[in-house]
A and B are shown apart, each in its own frame.
Chain A
Amino acid sequence: GQQLNQSPQSMFIQEGEDVSMNCTSSSIFNTWLWYKQDPGEGPVLLIALYKAGELTSNGRLTAQFGITRKDSFLNISASIPSDVGIYFCAGPWNAGNNRKLIWGLGTSLAVNP
């Protein structure tokens, strides 16, 4: 089925480094969502983007809605050990009331203290 393309698939970095990851689609999205998932837990919403070109921050996290509406980027500055987890991008697929989310495969982040 429909799926978003995330890269990189995994990252292993040193504490304090900045991280960048992205998400692309062959289709246009009007909303981009970024989630973080810890092992054995549900995804937690980090940032929601609603406008092409929009840049939104949440603490050390910054996300951008691409101008073409086919991509989005997530940056984490000054990484810390608790940033470890899997980061997913997601976008609502339907135009109607059912805004079911389409997901990427995730970027797995490991942080070496």
Chain B
Amino acid sequence: DTGVSQDPRHKITKRGQNVTFRCDPISEHNRLYWYRQTLGQGPEFLTYFQNEAQLEKSRLLSDRFSAERPKGSFSTLEIQRTEQGDSAMYLCASSFTADEQFFGPGTRLTVL
């Protein structure tokens, strides 16, 4: 069974560096979501793709953040000029039916 996978699982970077995360959704799922989660909180929505089209971005997603989903398969989330406040768990989820979302294991980002 190939569930949602994310890479890397952990990333430590210095402030000001760029980082890129990858998400591979479940193969037949056309909807893909990125969320961010900090300690003691539930996940917060960042952005949504239907196939290759990015249809919504949260106001949380500053200009330093960009996401792509070329060909409607895997997705990447890039953070430029990282700040300490970007430290969080970045979660990817995919779905086929409208409401049930299946999550990957997450990428834990630490910005020093």
Chain A contacts to B: CB under 8 angstroms: 1, 3-4, 31, 33, 35, 40-45, 48, 50, 88, 90, 92, 97-101, 103-106
Main secondary structure of the interface of B (DSSP, over half): strand
Asked if A105 and B41 sit within 8 Å, CB to CB, the answer is yes
User: Closest 6 interchain pairs by CB?
Assistant: A103-B42, A42-B103, A100-B45, A31-B99, A98-B48, A42-B106
Asked if A99 and B95 sit within 8 Å, CB to CB, the answer is yes
Counting residue pairs across A and B whose Cβ atoms lie within 8 Å, the total is 66
Q: How many B residues face the partner with a CB closer than 8 A?
A: 28
Main secondary structure of the interface of A (DSSP, over half): loop
Chain B contacts to A: CB under 8 angstroms: 4, 6, 31, 33, 35, 40-45, 48, 50, 55-56, 91, 93, 95, 98-106, 108
Q: Which residue of B lies closest to A94 (CB)?
A: B56
In the assembled complex, how far is the CB of residue A35 from the closest CB belonging to chain B, in whole angstroms? 8
Central interface residue in A1, A31, A100, by most chain B CB within 10 Å: A100
